[in-house]
Amino acid sequence: MIKIAIADDEELFVQLLENFLNKQAHLKCILTALSGEGLLKKIDQSLDKPNIVILDLRMKNLDGAETVMMLKDRHPAIRSIVISSHYQKSFMGYMLRAGVNAFIPKGISPQNLLKVIESVYQKGFYFMEEQVETMRSQIKTQAPKPKLKLEEEFTEREREVLTLLCQQYTAKEIADKLFVSKRTVESHKDNLFAKTGARNLAGLVIYAIQNQLVNQEDLPMFH
């Protein structure tokens, strides 16, 4: 059961989304709020924490990205999906820096929204194809040249694990593919985090794209 919290200053939208999510067998909306401040307060006071928050980008006083930054400080395990009727792919870099796990347009179809929720819950991130293109262009101009050759930084097995993580396979699925234990895969993941400086799976994906360790064509995308 994936536990969801919703924050949006449009009460009708909150009610409609809550009703839709609660009709799904594997989802449960455990709290709603009409502002970022209200969401933070309710989560702070609740013993039952959500796995994922879905919140609007444009809210009064505290917008969605600012709310996520405060949420990450207080409850780092909670993942976030920011939605917006003012969606622009160029916002993606800022969203990542804010700690957002997915950024999607408000007009997304219900079925694709479910895919986003499941991806964020299972993998820790969700990217659309156009967002990867934008991140690639933004990172290229700012990224420092690596001091070491990449083949010297990673073992062959670490690169295999990195590629499979970017393709959104879970640790268990990677273990099955490589005929190793899940614990071994987790150890490789820890090494990748240490070597790249990434703090989460989204950071690993960005690093891999930035350093051309994976081909964009190999990344699974939702349209």
Do residues 93 and 166 both lie within one domain?
A: no
Residue-wise pLDDT for 84-117, tens only, equals 887 776 677 777 778 889 888 888 999 999 999 9
For the chain, percent of residues with pLDDT exceeding 90: 35
Do residues 92 and 178 both lie within one domain?
A: no
pLDDT(46) > 80 = yes
Do residues 122 and 42 both lie within one domain?
A: yes
Does the residue 177 lie in any domain?
A: yes
Do residues 119 and 162 both lie within one domain?
A: no
Give the chain's domain count: 2
Does the residue 132 lie in any domain?
A: no
Does the residue 131 lie in any domain?
A: no
Residue-wise pLDDT for 158-183, tens only, equals 888 988 888 888 889 999 999 888 88
Query: What does the pLDDT average to over 28-42?
Result: 94
Residue-wise pLDDT for 179-203, tens only, equals 888 888 888 888 888 888 787 888 8
E-strand spans in 63-141? 79-84, 102-105
CATH number at residue 33: 3.40.50.2300
Do residues 99 and 153 both lie within one domain?
A: no
Do residues 148 and 104 both lie within one domain?
A: no
Indicate whether this model's pTM tops 0.75: no
* 104-112: long-range contacts, CB 8 A cutoff, minimum separation 24: 104/128, 106/56, 108/83, 110/20, 112/222
Q: In what order do the strands lie in the sheet with 52-56?
A: 27-33, 2-7, 52-56, 79-84, 102-105
Does the residue 73 lie in any domain?
A: yes
Domain boundary among 100, 126, 152: 126
Largest CA distance in the chain: 55
Does the residue 102 lie in any domain?
A: yes
Domain boundary among 126, 150, 170: 126
* Helix (H) / strand (E) containing 192: helix 182-196
Domain range for residue 147? 138-218
Give the chain's mean pLDDT: 83
Query: What does the pLDDT average to over 143-169?
Result: 72
Q: Confidence class of residue 151 from pLDDT cuts 50, 70 and 90?
A: very low
Does the residue 142 lie in any domain?
A: yes
Do residues 110 and 158 both lie within one domain?
A: no
Do residues 51 and 110 both lie within one domain?
A: yes
CATH number at residue 145: 1.10.10.10
Do residues 40 and 120 both lie within one domain?
A: yes
Do residues 103 and 28 both lie within one domain?
A: yes
Does the residue 223 lie in any domain?
A: no
Domain boundary among 96, 126, 156: 126
